[in-house]
Structure 1
Amino acid sequence: MLLFVHTLYVKTTLIHLTAAGLPPLTLVHLTDLHGRTRYLNGSLHRLVNRWEPDIVFCTGDLAQHRGQLPRVMQEIAKIRAQHGFCFVPGNYERQEARGWKKRAYTAEEYASCKEQWQAKMTVLENKEVFFDIGDARIRVYGFDNSTYGNERYEPDKEEKAKRTYWTVLLAHSPNIISFIREKGIQGDLLLTGHTHGGQIRVVRRTFGAYKHFHIGPKQDREVGVFSISRGLGTSRLPFRLNCFPEVTVYLLNQPQRPG
């Protein structure tokens, strides 16, 4: 029963940020669904839409395999974001897993999946998009999945010279921070996933491959706030322990609100 609740009860994490020059905004971060869209406390779109988000970000791993993708995209289509929905691919956008076996997608299979993403979201593969909200401008730059070394930084040179915007950086894996430091990339908020928060935590500690990464937001000299979400699904082991699935809500220039 404990594993069932810890795996399927989504917690909403509220993070309050102050951003000069921006109006009050609500940003929502999702990641690592791995095919799961329904939880004990509601379907994904209901958990998101109750916050009436201005922009929604998803940082990859929508499905374990292509068979799950249509259902996931049906749920994504029900999410209402006033200004936009941005997506960057993860490692499970280039491979699928059935049981313990993994297989890389062919170029044709990847293209077919990408068509489905693009029908519902703005797909950023080493690209940027701008949102003009009132008198403010938000820039969102999405890195292609760094797990496969596909990340590039190719900003618009004219826009870069202006630097009159607030920048959100998106990547699937937190390993992107090494690339960011190497290239001297600046931002205000970096959103990543991939680690699942360790998925299993004992005495508030993460065990396994990602134990050196933090969970949640952390102040950073290059990117302002470097945040790693616990994500929503599971991989390999089909359960979580002391590491609830998470929807992260960023409240910019807003008073304290209950979760």
Structure 2
Amino acid sequence: MSPLSQQQITRSAVAAAGVGAAGLAYATLIERNAFTLREVTLPVLEPGSASLRVLHLSDLHMMPNQRLKQAWLRELDELDPDLVVNTGDNLSHQRAVPAVVQSLGGLLARPGLFVFGSNDYFAPKPKNPLKYFKKNHKRVHGEPLPWQDLRAAFTERGWLDATHVRREFEVAGVRIAAAGVDDPHLHRDRYETVAGRPNPLANLRLGLTHSPEPRVLDRFAEDGYDLVLAGHTHGGQLCLPFYGALVTNCQIDRARVKGASQWGEHMRLHVSAGIGTSPYAPARFCCRPEATLLTLVANQDRDPESGPETGAEQHVSRSEAGVR
């Protein structure tokens, strides 16, 4: 076999560069704005409970000028959820609070729970992307963000801050015992402030955390929570076909980087792939930005007279064309 000519080598290099450029253009211009709604059914409620529709939002990473994202978020109110849960990283800019509040619009008039993440407290900064492959890399924070203003806007409209607080309330006939922790990614979690078994009379025992760190998930599971909602991972953000996420940016395994999974014997975990990206890494590949509509139904496995537990059902619908 004759060696490749210089011309063939040049053509191959140009072709590879073209493929790389096309992939980068797709990831930055198309997929990161291809917002989608994922729908998941989870059997986590006490037997006999009415079903509950929960809209899980995470990682908006809002910039003031992101009109397409803001318009898509406003349409989510048409889903008519019973409860909205926001698991943090709403901000990416000092002046993004009004954009977040206006984008959430009617959702803020619905029952809601939230905890914050690192990019509610600190602005993002440029990073070497290779650092994400080191789980214990040194974190560099940007300028402080106006998280107090965002918290005030949420709570004034009736959403409940679940950070290091245990909450009990009723929504759509479902009694919920909820608790959350501050962002474990920043080591701000103080699980001992909410430790202990939640109300056994509740129909749903719900935990919230921004980063799904195993040390926190284990504590929720040990205390008997039915479901924990988290974000932070962006679903890996840059994924490969047939392989999935390259990194999770936390201690959780790649198999649980997004979607629903089992944690321990009785607890379910749902990790949102999130809606935004850092302004310094505005790309997604094989990992579309998403919100999730969770339909929570009774777990018949808790009733000895019923059949075996049903697994989580997931499908994607209502994509970038909007919510209809």
Measured against the shorter chain, the TM-score band is 0.7 to 0.9
**2:38 matched to 1:13?**
yes
| 1:212 partnered with 2:240 | no
Confirm or deny: 8 A CA contact 1:181 1:222 kept in the other structure. Answer: no
Distance change >3 Å, CA 136–CA 55, structure 1 → 2: closer
- Distance in 2 of aligned mates of 1:232 and 1:10: 7
Shift of 1:209: 5.0
Per the alignment, residue 156 of structure 2 pairs with 119
Q: String of CA shifts for 1:194-235, please: whole Å, max 9, x gaps.
A: 010111111232123538332211012266211111100012
SS at match of 1:26: strand
- Matched with 1:45 is 74
Q: How much does 1:63 deviate? A: 0.9
| Conservation of the 8 A alpha-carbon contact between 1:187 and 1:222 | no
In structure 1, how many angstroms separate the alpha carbons of the residues matched to 2:289 and 2:315? 20
Higher helix share: 2
Q: Which has the larger radius of gyration?
A: 2
For residue 147 of structure 1, report the CA deviation from its aligned partner.
Answer: 1.5
2:207 corresponds to which residue?
169
Task: Please say if residues 55 and 81 of structure 1, whose CA atoms lie closer than 8 Å, have aligned partners that are also in contact.
Answer: no
Distance change (3 Å), C-alpha of 1:143 and 1:223:
farther
3-state SS of 2:198 partner: helix
**Aligned partners of 2:83 and 2:172: how far apart in 1?**
14
Equivalent AA in structure 1 for residue 98 of structure 2: P
Q: Is the 2:41–2:295 Cα contact (8 Å) retained in structure 1?
A: yes
How has the CA–CA distance of structure 1 residues 182 and 87 changed in structure 2, closer, same or farther, with 3 Å as cutoff?
closer
Structure 1 equivalent of residue 267 of structure 2: 224
The one-character-per-residue Cα deviations of 1:48-101 (angstroms, maximum 9, x if unpaired) are 22221000001001111221121111212332664x111100001211136568
Q: Structure 2: which amino acid aligns with 1:117?
A: F
Q: CA deviation at 1:250?
A: 0.7
Which whole-Å CA distance do the structure 2 matches of 1:245 and 1:256 have between them? 16
Partner of 1:146: 184
In the aligned structure 2, how far is the partner of 1:94 from the partner of 1:88?
12
- Structure 1 residues without counterparts, runs of 5 or longer: none
Question: TM-score normalized by structure 1?
Answer: 0.84
- Pairwise CA RMSD of aligned residues? 3.1
SS of the residue 2:96 aligns to: helix
The answer (yes or no) to whether the contact 2:237–2:285 under 8 Å persists in 1 is yes
Count matched residues: 253
The equivalent of 1:238 in structure 2 is 282
Q: Residues 40 and 21 of structure 1: is their aligned pair in 2 closer, same or farther, counting only changes over 3 Å?
A: same
Q: Distance in 1 between matches of 2:199 and 2:52?
A: 25
What's the counterpart of residue 92 of structure 1?
119
Question: In the aligned structure 2, how far is the partner of 1:241 from the partner of 1:218?
Answer: 22
Structure 2 unmatched runs, 5+: 1-24, 128-139, 299-312, 318-324
- TM-score scaled by length of structure 2: 0.68
Aligned counterparts of 2:104 and 2:69: Cα–Cα separation in 1: 18
Which residue in 2 is equivalent to 1:190?
Answer: 228
Distance 2:39 2:70 in 1: 17
Per the alignment, in what secondary structure is the counterpart of residue 167 of structure 2? strand
Partner of 1:78, secondary structure, is helix
Measure, in 2, the Cα distance between the counterparts of 1:25 and 1:126: 24
The equivalent residue for 1:25 is 52
